[in-house]
């Protein structure tokens, strides 16, 4: 009985998460919705023969499309930056936990500095720069060996 | 004694007769018959006024192309005018006769042709108005459309009042104004269509970007 309750609860959580993810579609942004509404207004004005209004609405819609695209780009870039930052942190934490071969101490120190920069850029929402530094950290630590276990 | 009395009587009669006024003898006097000689041709005045009038009517008929509506009468009037021009200054009587005929002919062309011309012009104006209506010019270019409609109404009023010349000109102007309104509306319509099309493409592109972004974010999760 207990098991089935837990199973149902987990299932509910999964469904809720899926629905939440669906509701958070990037298309749900207000700029995209406004652009759609303006295009509908433009079509109505056009059908009524008010071509000046139709033109104005369509042009205004373009501005909101631009904003929507900027929003989507930023969101995607933010996720990419976050993803790369997590990988970089994970790699640095790994070497922190296992130690670094003394030969690579310098490389590891630079990787930590680069990680700090990646984090700072991320916090400033400078995602492209953050990705650049995170990728550098991951790339630099690829050739680093862990310290030999005693 | 009887002889004396007789002589006296005769003498008295003679005296009385000599005192009386002699009666007028009214013998008819035949005057010589003078046939009026025909005036010399050169002395008949030039039918200048008729010529000017015929030319003026012809100009009007040609300006409006009325000849094509009543071709027979137009050709007759033209022939009469040509005859008159041949006789002009040579046989002015014949010239005047031909000019009178030409004037009657041109007037007939005007009387019959103008209503037909006005009907044609009205049909053309109606077609231009329908074209402007089809593109909703009344809404998109209200001022231009109102100008055309006012001119059209003016033409209809002139037609009803029998002022065909004014009606023909006003219908022609109304047609031009409706065509102008149509062109203005079409330019605005084309501009709106172009903008709406590119906005639609922009929306589709934005949707694709967002869906691709959704896929990436969901993959990352």
Option in B192, B207, B211 nearest A46 (CB): B192
- Give this complex's ipTM: 0.77
In the predicted structure, residue B6 carries a pLDDT above the cut 70: no
Average pLDDT, chain B: 86
Predicted model pTM: 0.71
- Residue B31 near residue B135, CB atoms below 8 Å: no
pLDDT value at residue B220:
54
pLDDT value at residue B45:
86
Give residue A127's pLDDT band: very low, low, confident or very high (50, 70, 90). very high
Buried b (16+ CB within 10 A) or exposed e, A60-93: bbbebbebbbebbeebbbebbbbbbbeebeebbe
Nearest chain A residue (CA) to B203: A65
- Residue A95 near residue A140, CB atoms below 8 Å: no
CB contact under 8 A, B196 and A46: yes
Q: Which position has the token pair 């008819």?
A: B28
CB contact under 8 A, B213 and A72: yes
Instruction: Give the gap in angstroms from C-alpha A126 to the nearest C-alpha of chain B.
Output: 18
Q: Which position has the token pair 């669906």?
A: A22
DSSP one-letter string for B52-91: HHHHHHHHHHHHHTGGGTSHHHHHHHHHHHHHHHHHTTT-
In the predicted structure, residue B129 carries a pLDDT above the cut 70: yes
| Dist CA B88 CA B82 (whole Å) | 10
CB contact under 8 A, B136 and A49: yes
Chain A positions in Cβ-Cβ contact with residue B193 (cut-off 8 Å): 46
pLDDT value at residue A135:
97
Alpha-carbon distance values, A58 to A63, A64, B169, B204 (Å): 9, 10, 42, 14
pLDDT value at residue A21:
45
Residue range A101-124: average pLDDT?
A: 96
- Residue A146 bridge partners (DSSP): A100
In the predicted structure, residue B42 carries a pLDDT above the cut 60: no
DSSP one-letter string for B136-167: THHHHSHHHHHHHHHHHHHHHHHHHTT-HHHH
| Dist CA A55 CA A41 (whole Å) | 10
């Amino acid at each position: 009985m207990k098991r089935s309750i837990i199973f149902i609860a987990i299932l509910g959580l999964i469904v809720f998460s899926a629905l939440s993810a669906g509701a958070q579609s990037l298309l749900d942004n207000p700029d995209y919705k406004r652009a759609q509404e303006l295009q509908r207004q433009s079509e109505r004005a056009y059908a009524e023969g008010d071509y000046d209004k139709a033109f104005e609405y369509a042009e205004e819609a373009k501005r909101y499309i631009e904003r929507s695209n900027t929003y989507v780009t930023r969101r995607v870039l933010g996720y990419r930056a976050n993803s790369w930052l997590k990988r970089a942190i994970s790699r640095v934490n790994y070497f922190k936990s296992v130690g670094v071969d003394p030969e690579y101490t310098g490389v590891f120190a630079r990787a930590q500095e680069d990680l700090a920069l990646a984090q700072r850029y991320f916090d400033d929402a400078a995602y492209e720069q953050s990705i650049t530094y995170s990728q550098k950290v991951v790339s630099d630590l690829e050739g680093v060996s862990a310290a030999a276990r005693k | 004694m009887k002889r004396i009395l007789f002589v006296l009587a005769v003498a008295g009669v003679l005296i009385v007769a000599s005192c009386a006024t002699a009666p007028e003898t009214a013998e008819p006097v035949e005057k010589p018959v003078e046939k009026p000689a025909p005036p010399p041709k050169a002395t008949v005045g030039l039918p200048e006024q008729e010529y000017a009038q015929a030319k003026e009517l012809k100009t009007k008929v040609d300006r409006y192309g009325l000849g094509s509506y009543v071709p027979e009468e137009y050709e007759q009037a033209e022939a009469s005018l040509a005859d008159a021009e041949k006789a002009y200054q040579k046989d002015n009587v014949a010239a005047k006769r031909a000019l009178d005929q030409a004037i009657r002919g041109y007037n007939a062309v005007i009387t019959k042709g103008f209503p037909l011309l006005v009907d044609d012009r009205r049909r053309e104006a109606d077609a231009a108005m329908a074209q402007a209506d089809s593109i909703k010019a009344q809404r998109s270019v209200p001022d231009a459309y109102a100008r055309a409609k006012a001119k059209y109404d003016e033409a209809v009023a002139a037609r009803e009042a029998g002022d065909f010349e004014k009606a023909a000109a006003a219908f022609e102007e109304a047609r031009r104004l409706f065509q102008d309104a149509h062109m203005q509306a079409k330019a605005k319509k084309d501009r709106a269509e172009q903008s709406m099309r590119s906005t639609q493409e922009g929306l589709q592109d934005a949707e694709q970007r967002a869906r691709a972004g959704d896929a990436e974010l969901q993959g990352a999760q």
